[in-house]
């Protein structure tokens, strides 16, 4: 099986072109993504035929679970399709990709590489989802943007955003490098309140155009970057009045640009790079 290793801001993936999207890919994802013993990656990307778009993407985490969407995965997949000639030149400016979260649009964005439309953020209890018991489905946006938890004797306010996949963003006044993400990340991910688990981001607003952040990804652990996580951070910051419409999210692996007008679709811009190609036996 031929594969290509790519990354966007250090968020790395193994990409496989496949015809059969319905086989059991979870064991292969776990084996290929395993660091030191496999190829090593934050996820397995499948590039598949689509009946509703030009391309179709499925993404599996290193634990074998499937993610609904993946921002940097989309950037890498589109970049690969363009560089390997899978798209005709007239299609390059506007590309449609089918994902489990719906069809996403992408385009070449000059010096910023690939710009991906990540859909409109959602804030409903069922969108995350949150287990709040029966009769508690009414959305309180103030609660979703300051959802309180107490974990390891720490009180955290989580800003809950769905970008097609679930995110909990915590804004810190201290440097994100000092936050005990490896200790608290898996605990937040697996809180009983989140029956499908959750991605966890810790962020610090530097100014209205810049935010530092780290991400604990559901089913992966800490990653050097996360596209949908960067979008969730920008959405929460914009809702809280911390930033304007465009912001650079500085992550350990690099910078991702996010643009949101506070109403419609969120746009993520990043660069992708092919690291190497190989064959899996």
DSSP character for 83? H
Stretch(es) of the chain classified as CATH 3.10.310.10: 2-119+270-279, 141-264
Instruction: Specify the pairing of strand 95-99 against strand 66-67.
Output: unpaired
Separation CA 200–CA 32 (nearest Å): 24
Separation CA 207–CA 195 (nearest Å): 34
DSSP character for 110? G
Q: List residues with catalytic annotation.
A: 70, 226
Class of domain 2-119+270-279: alpha beta
> CA 142 from chain center: how many Å?
24
Question: Residue 135: what pLDDT?
Answer: 43
pLDDT in tens, the chain (281 residues): 999 999 999 999 999 999 876 789 999 999 999 999 999 999 999 999 999 999 999 999 999 999 999 999 999 999 999 889 888 655 567 899 999 999 999 998 766 589 999 999 999 888 999 987 544 555 567 778 889 999 988 899 999 999 999 999 999 999 999 999 999 999 999 999 999 999 999 999 999 999 999 999 999 999 999 999 999 999 999 999 999 999 999 999 999 999 999 999 999 999 999 999 999 99
Residue 37 CB-density burial (10 A; 0-12 exposed, 13-18 middle, 19+ buried): exposed
Separation CA 46–CA 95 (nearest Å): 17
Note whether 76 and 13 are within 8 A (CB): yes
**Contact partners, residue 155, CB within 8 Å, separation at least 6:** 148, 149
Tokens of 220: 């992966």
Closest CA to 147 of 239, 229, 68, 70: 239
Separation CA 223–CA 214 (nearest Å): 8
Question: Residue 153: what pLDDT?
Answer: 84
Separation CA 56–CA 44 (nearest Å): 14
Instruction: Report phi then psi at 189, rounded to 5.
Output: -55, -40
Instruction: Identify how many contiguous H helices and E strands the chain contains and give both numbers.
Output: 5, 18
Sign of CA dihedral 96, 227, 70, 74: positive
CATH pick for 141-264 out of 3.40.50.11720, 3.10.310.10, 3.20.20.70, 3.30.360.10: 3.10.310.10
Question: Residue 112: what pLDDT?
Answer: 59
Residue 260 CB-density burial (10 A; 0-12 exposed, 13-18 middle, 19+ buried): buried
Closest CA to 4 of 14, 61, 36: 14
Tokens of 61: 């985490």
Other Cβ atoms less than 10 A from the Cβ of 22: the count is: 8
């Amino acid at each position: 099986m031929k594969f290509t290793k790519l990354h966007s801001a250090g968020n790395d993936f193994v990409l496989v072109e496949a015809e059969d999207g319905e086989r059991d890919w979870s064991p292969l994802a776990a084996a290929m993504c395993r660091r030191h013993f496999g190829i090593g990656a934050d996820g397995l990307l499948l590039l598949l035929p689509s009946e509703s778009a030009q391309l179709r993407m499925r993404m599996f985490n290193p634990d074998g679970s499937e993610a609904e969407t993946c921002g940097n995965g989309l950037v890498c997949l589109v970049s690969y399709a363009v560089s390997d000639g899978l798209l005709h030149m007239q299609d390059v400016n506007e590309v449609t990709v089918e994902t489990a979260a719906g069809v996403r649009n992408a385009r070449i964005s000059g010096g910023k590489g690939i710009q991906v439309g990540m859909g409109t953020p959602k804030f409903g209890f069922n969108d995350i989802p949150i287990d709040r018991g029966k009769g508690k489905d009414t959305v309180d946006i103030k609660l979703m943007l300051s959802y309180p938890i107490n974990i390891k004797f720490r009180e955290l306010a989580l800003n809950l955003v769905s970008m097609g996949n679930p995110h909990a963003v915590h804004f810190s006044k201290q440097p994100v490098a000092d936050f005990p993400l490896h200790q608290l990340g898996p605990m937040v991910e697996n809180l009983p309140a989140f029956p499908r688990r959750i991605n966890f981001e810790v962020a610090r607003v530097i100014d209205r155009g810049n935010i530092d952040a780290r991400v604990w990804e559901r089913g992966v652990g800490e990653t050097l970057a996360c596209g949908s996580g960067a979008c969730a951070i920008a959405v929460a910051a914009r809702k809280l009045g911390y930033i304007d419409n465009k912001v650079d999210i500085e992550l350990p692996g690099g910078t991702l640009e996010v643009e949101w007008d506070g109403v419609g679709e969120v746009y993520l811009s990043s660069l992708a790079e092919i690291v190497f190609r190989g064959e899996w036996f």
